[in-house]
Amino acid sequence: MDNIREPVIAGTWYPGDPAQLRSDIERYLAGMHGGKIDGKVAGLVAPHAGYVYSGQVAACAYKTVQGSKFDAVIVIGPSHRAYFKGASIYNGEGYETPLGVMPVDTSLAGEIASCSNGMVSLVPDDHSPENSIEIQIPFLQTVLGNIPFVPILMGTQDMDTCRGLTDAIIRAVGDKRILVVASSDFSHYHDYDKAVGMDLAALGYIEKMDIGGLLLGLESGRCEACGAGAVIVTIMAARAAGADRVRVLEYMNSGDITGDRSGVVGYAAVVFYENAENSMKRRKGTGDADKTGRGSAA
């Protein structure tokens, strides 16, 4: 395969040895209880810090889809290191990790870009130094195998970009069963108690799918999320796919891991899903069948 993005944080943010990486992720997953969701999962929020900080939180999100069947996955993350307007899709053939190559769904990627009225570009260079998408891939490879995916970086996270990207995703996806993953950490470098307050405020809005409230909270400084745009797009895309339930599965911050509570980073796992009964009614109504190391703390 040509045009494969090589890993840039393997061996630092997560183990570079395949056996160790798989063992760590399986251990995180095995430690999670109550991850079964009675319904059809459409979206997740998972953190993008080094695994020693946030791996167990990420596992709470990915446990809910372990062994599930999707046509593709869309992973959306903020661009920390490259600035550009709108969003950017890696249009190469795959993302490589120590667990193998996760193939890019180039057809779906192209459809999203073509449906976006120029808001989404196909620019692989934007992805080269970025951690927010790569950190999700080993978890996806472990719970879903090397499923086709679309990696999307958001250069701007304003509401116009969120709406435009969501609309492009909805139009491109059609009736495919897609999992959308928002890669986001929450508050950054506040003391422990302030961070917890800010993060619970953000999660309160997310749990209600209250995008307006979340935006006001972010604008006022009541809460923070470095992948806020990705979270908003995931809420809207999941809702369009039928999701009518939200569960905050876990919340922790780096202070819970390191013991240093002077300046912490917040992590959360969230799942968006359609209640099983509503999902069945909708399928009957439409006639559709269900397709079924250490790194940084931020």
For the record, the structure tokens of 21 come out as 């990486």
* Signed CA dihedral, 203, 208, 210, 211: sign only: positive
Q: How many whole angstroms separate alpha carbon 214 and alpha carbon 220?
A: 10
* CATH, residue 268: 3.40.830.10
- Mean pLDDT for back-to-back runs of 10 residues, the chain (298 residues): 87 98 97 79 98 97 95 96 89 94 96 94 74 97 97 94 97 97 98 98 98 97 97 98 96 97 97 80 54 56
Q: What's the pLDDT at 76?
A: 98
In a domain, 155, yes or no: yes
Instruction: Provide CB contacts within 8 A for 219, sequence distance 6+.
Output: none
Q: What's the pLDDT at 82?
A: 82
In a domain, 292, yes or no: no
Q: What's the pLDDT at 98?
A: 98
In a domain, 113, yes or no: yes
Q: How many whole angstroms separate alpha carbon 54 and alpha carbon 56?
A: 6
274: containing domain = 4-285
In a domain, 293, yes or no: no
Q: How many whole angstroms separate alpha carbon 55 and alpha carbon 136?
A: 10
In a domain, 264, yes or no: yes
How many domains, in total, are found in the chain?
Answer: 1
In a domain, 10, yes or no: yes
In a domain, 297, yes or no: no
From residue 210, how far is each of 170, 191, 201, 232, 260 by CA, in Å? Answer: 19, 26, 11, 9, 32
Q: Quick check: helix, strand or coil at residue 276?
A: helix
DSSP, res 104: B
Kindly report the number of other CB atoms within 10 A of residue 91's CB atom: 18
Q: How many whole angstroms separate alpha carbon 245 and alpha carbon 232?
A: 15
Helix, strand and coil content of the chain, in percent to the nearest 5, comes to 40, 25, 35
In a domain, 120, yes or no: yes
The burial class, CB within 10 Å (0-12 / 13-18 / 19+), for 286 is exposed
Q: Which helix or strand (DSSP H or E) is residue 195 part of?
A: helix 192-207
Q: What's the pLDDT at 288?
A: 47
Name the phi and psi angles at 29, rounded to 5.
-65, -40
